[in-house]
Amino acid sequence: MVTPRKLEKLEQKALTVLREDIQKRTGIQLNTVTRWPGNKQPVIAIGQKEQIKSFAGPYSNILEKDQTLSKEGFRLLIKENVILVVGNDPRGVFYGVGKLLRNLCMKPGSILAPNNLKITSSPRYEIRGHQLGYRPKTNAYDAWDPAQFDQYIRELGIFGANCIEIIPPKSDDTLTSPHMKLPPIEMMIKQAEIIDSYGMDVWIWYPNIGEDYTHPYSVREELEEREEIFKKLKRIDVVFVPGGDPGDLHPDILFIWLEKVAKVLNKYHPKAKIWVSPQAFRPTKEWLDAFYKNVNLRCPWFGGVVFGPWIKTPLPEIRKIVDPKIPIRRYPDITHSISCQYPVKDWDLAFAMTLGRECYNPRPAAEKVIHNALDEFANGSISYSEGINDDVNKFIWSDQDWNPERPVIETLREYSRLFIHPDFSEQIAQGILAQEKNWQGPLIANNSVEVTLNQWNNMEQQFPPEVVKNYRFQMGLLRAYYDAYTRERLIHETALESKARGVLRNATIINSREKMKHAESILNQKWEKPVAQDYKERCWEIADYLFETIGSQTSVKKHKAKPGRGDFMDYIDTPLNNAIWLLSQFERIRKITGEQARLASIDALLNRSNPGPGGFYDNLGKSINTPRFVDYPAWKEDPGSLRTPRISFGAGLKGREWIHTVQAKGFDGSAIPLAWMNQITTLYETPLNVVYENLNSHSSYILKVTYTGRFQSRIKLNADDKFQIHEMIKTGKTPVNKFLIPKEATRDGKLKLTWTCAEGERGAQVAEIWLIPLKK
């Protein structure tokens, strides 16, 4: 390696990273010199543009003419046996080295570089990072030691990250976990040192979780807590304080409090700023107006606005509201699949019930859409992450923040080449894309799930042990087996339910109990004769291996995971049909006296969703791709569904707004039909419009509607924008409701139903609709 005589600290770090990563993969030790060698031996020349004559040798005149680089940019040139990395500044040098590593084919005793490679690149956005919180709530980070954080932060830097966000010891979480190698404050100190060593900015996510921020004693106590942290950390560039989630301060109080925090912060870190988000679960117009008023004061300590989960104002509108000089950072939730900022579009209920909210979730194609839908309105992003489960998504976001035009397959090839093995980068990259397709459309009809498993199974059998044992390969392998196991179960259990219903349809006045017993025996085959147990066993083997190697906690019982946080292995056998509900109904019906009454109850059970002749039934939580929903933007234009419907999961337990998993339990804890477990949802005051056509213009209709969902909002329903069907009612109490539709509303053969919720509520949720013609 040829370098200038004088190197800045980050340039030295870049050389160390290059030397160590090459030696680790090849065994080759690179020497560093400051003069161009006289012979024709291979050379890697590295340095800043301003010092080009001191390290680029005969190529300095060619490179000196390049004026296209901007802040943090680099030029990478490979010609014959010479590799040149020229950075616009120290960070540019580091990212140029990172790009070189991503393009090298490194194997024991061999370094191969693509000949005639020419790359000139500068980042599109100035904020590119990820949150790595050392706290019990995460699904892996709390099990890491400083060396693992160092390695992971290095890898993120290689893919262009320039900032990392860490979390204080006291947040919306317990104080410690059984996996922690160091006390939280000691790890936070180490994290800040590591981040600084890679020339990255140190951000802190610091929520307000105290009970009082106005009383002098409480304020002093909170400030003392923050001072203890601020003075111990080597570097702090930004403190990000969410307006809510968690925290519940009125903006006028919040900004007065933050001014006090800023004084303590700047005592130890004079250039540090405080950024704030308008996050709030139930914001009112008054709350939001007060927030933006305070933002636009542009206080000296104020750094910018953060756009993250549970923000009512769409990002393009925020950009118009706040002063153009105020930067905006995105805070995308890349870690969750449901009940989140960017849920998986049209996810199958079977996956929601098993993989749940925080599984291994590579979504490269979707993440690019989510990124590019709004990137122009912000200055970059620092992602919200709760562990290793979103590993692929982190690298997609970093690469998209650098260059939004880049195809994700190219990022995946570099990811696989550098982190797993250069000989198999194409197969692994395509395998990751295939896993995302597993989640598209109804699972029972998705034949690609079996194809994906076959591809990963082939790789498992054919690749060398060091590849198969790589934790990133193992995460992909586990998902391939898990998805296939879930589909096999879904097919089997759906068939069992259909067979059991067929038995019940043949019940007569003399054998209702016998038929229920027969149907029950069929449904119990789910537990007594389970399918694809070899897939399940392989899932557990891989899950245990990942816990040992990377601290990935996918089970509460086996790995001491935090409930609802990445513990998807505990739900691998969750029933995927209506068995639990049907069995509970059998218990109820058996207690009915009189054969005729029991038969009537069985008939009602079998015809639960039947709207009768001329009627309509819709399970609205099945898919947003239905003609019932009209006049909404496309998903790719509004992936956060602030203006469009989304599918939500979970029935909602009485008195509880939040549960971690999608359970077959209803308002009183009893079993419920699957149709209650997903809903069509609109957020905040966005109207939920459902349209019916081809109605009988001479008929009157009864509307039967099921209200489930965790929001339990106050909602009202109008028809055709002028007829009130019901006034504002509180959901979360009575799931099934009936209302008369005015005949005038259907006289034209059409009907538009519009649900809206009250100001300050989280949104409207509707699970099922029956339109039942009134008998004449």
Residue 588 pLDDT level (bands cut at 50, 70, 90):
very high
Residues 108 and 139 in one domain: no
Whether residue 126 has pLDDT greater than 90: yes
pLDDT in tens, 247-279: 889 999 999 999 999 999 999 999 999 999 999
The predicted structure's pLDDT at residue 59: 87
Say if 645 falls within a structural domain. Answer: yes
Residues 349 and 458 in one domain: no
* Structural domains of the chain, count: 4
Cis peptide before 216, with omega less than 30 degrees from 0?
A: no
Say if 425 falls within a structural domain. Answer: no
- Name the residue among 304, 306, 309, 312 with its Cα closest to residue 330: 306
Residue 234 pLDDT level (bands cut at 50, 70, 90):
very high
Residues 190 and 60 in one domain: no
The predicted structure's pLDDT at residue 656: 56
Residue 325 pLDDT level (bands cut at 50, 70, 90):
very high
Distance CA 151, CA 654 (A): 45
Q: Which whole number is the average pLDDT over 290-319?
A: 97
Q: What percent of the chain has pLDDT over 70?
A: 98
Whether residue 695 has pLDDT greater than 80: yes
Contact 551, 140 (CB under 8 A): yes
The predicted structure's pLDDT at residue 64: 66
Mean pLDDT, the chain, whole residue set = 95
The predicted structure's pLDDT at residue 623: 85
Q: Which whole number is the average pLDDT over 592-615?
A: 95
Residues 655 and 697 in one domain: yes
Q: Domain of 710: which CATH number?
A: 2.60.120
- From 582, 597, 622, give the residue that closes a domain: 582
Distance CA 124, CA 119 (A): 15
pLDDT in tens, 446-505: 999 999 999 999 999 999 999 999 999 999 999 999 999 999 999 999 999 999 999 999
Distance CA 608, CA 610 (A): 6
Q: Domain of 308: which CATH number?
A: 3.20.20.80
Under DSSP, the state recorded for 226 is: H
Residues 628 and 561 in one domain: no
The predicted structure's pLDDT at residue 217: 94
pLDDT in tens, 31-69: 999 999 988 889 999 999 999 999 999 888 877 666 678
pLDDT in tens, 559-569: 999 988 899 99
Structure tokens at 327: 């930067």
Distance CA 251, CA 283 (A): 11
The predicted structure's pLDDT at residue 658: 55
Say if 364 falls within a structural domain. Answer: yes
Whether residue 725 has pLDDT greater than 60: yes
φ, ψ at 479 (rounded to 5°): -60, -40
Q: Which whole number is the average pLDDT over 311-330?
A: 98
The predicted structure's pLDDT at residue 651: 82
Whether residue 670 has pLDDT greater than 90: no
Residues 136 and 107 in one domain: no
Of 193-197, 665-669, 690-694, the one with minimum mean pLDDT is 665-669
Structure tokens at 738: 């009936």
Q: Quote the domain boundaries for residue 73.
A: 9-121
Contact 149, 192 (CB under 8 A): no
pLDDT in tens, 765-776: 999 999 999 987
Amino acid identity, position 656: R
Length of the chain, in residues: 776
φ, ψ at 317 (rounded to 5°): -70, -40
Of 81-95, 221-235, 496-510, the one with minimum mean pLDDT is 496-510
Say if 361 falls within a structural domain. Answer: yes
Listed in sequence order, the residues at least 6 apart from 137 whose beta carbon sits closer than 8 Å to its beta carbon are: 172, 173, 386, 562, 565
Contact 328, 314 (CB under 8 A): no
Contact 101, 78 (CB under 8 A): no
For the beta sheet containing 74-79, the strands, ordered from the edge strand earlier in sequence to the opposite edge, are 43-48, 82-87, 74-79, 118-121
- Name the residue among 282, 396, 289 with its Cα closest to residue 332: 396
Buried b (16+ CB within 10 A) or exposed e, 724-753: ebeeeeebbeebebeeebbeebbeeeebbb
Strand-pair partners of 139: none
Residues 337 and 209 in one domain: yes
Structure tokens at 485: 């196991």
The predicted structure's pLDDT at residue 66: 66
Q: How far apart are the first and last CA of the chain?
A: 90
Q: Identify the residue with better confidence: 211 or 541.
A: 541
pLDDT in tens, 16-41: 999 999 999 999 999 999 999 988 88
The predicted structure's pLDDT at residue 174: 78
- From 121, 141, 171, give the residue that closes a domain: 121
- What does each C-alpha distance from 676 to 147, 345, 346, 708 come to in angstroms? 46, 19, 16, 6
Compute CA 646 distance to the chain's CA centroid, rounded to the nearest angstrom: 15
Distance CA 401, CA 381 (A): 7
Whether residue 583 has pLDDT greater than 70: yes
Say if 136 falls within a structural domain. Answer: yes
Contact 661, 750 (CB under 8 A): no
Q: Is 314 helix (H, G, I), strand (E, B) or coil?
A: coil
Neighbours of 140 (CB within 10 A): 27
Say if 74 falls within a structural domain. Answer: yes
- From 566, 582, 598, give the residue that closes a domain: 582
Tokens 């196991």 appear where?
Answer: 485
φ, ψ at 416 (rounded to 5°): -70, -40
The predicted structure's pLDDT at residue 51: 93
The predicted structure's pLDDT at residue 653: 58
Q: Identify the residue with better confidence: 606 or 760.
A: 606
Residues 703 and 736 in one domain: yes
Contact 261, 226 (CB under 8 A): yes
Distance CA 290, CA 251 (A): 6
Residue 733 pLDDT level (bands cut at 50, 70, 90):
confident
Model pTM score = 0.96
Say if 434 falls within a structural domain. Answer: no
Contact 579, 197 (CB under 8 A): no
Residues 453 and 479 in one domain: yes
pLDDT in tens, 613-657: 999 999 999 888 888 998 899 999 999 999 999 999 988 755 555
Residues 216 and 324 in one domain: yes
Residues 628 and 763 in one domain: yes
Residues 652 and 561 in one domain: no
Say if 701 falls within a structural domain. Answer: yes
